[in-house]
Amino acid sequence: MRKDGKDGRGRKPKKTDSRYVQNKKHKLFRKLAGIEFVIGHCKADHR
């Protein structure tokens, strides 16, 4: 979490980002997509 309260995950890789940064963001987004449905199901099960 950054000082301004945002975690930096909510933006797509820019064209001006280096190839390394684009790959890094792509891996992060793929990892998040893999666990978000699990979190959603857990929240729904305990309501």
Structure tokens at 42: 């857990």
Residue 7 is which amino acid? Answer: D
Residue 34 is which amino acid? Answer: G
- CA 10 to CA 17: how far, in whole Å? 15
Residue 17 has pLDDT above 60, yes or no: yes
Q: What is the pLDDT of residue 30?
A: 86
Residue 19 has pLDDT above 50, yes or no: yes
Residue 1 has pLDDT above 50, yes or no: no
Q: What is the pLDDT of residue 3?
A: 54
What is the CA 42 to chain-centroid distance, rounded? 19
Residue 23's φ and ψ, nearest 5 degrees, are: -65, -40
User: Tokens 């909510």 label which residue?
Assistant: 10
Confidence band, pLDDT 50/70/90 cuts, at residue 10:
low
Please, what is the average pLDDT of the chain? Answer: 77
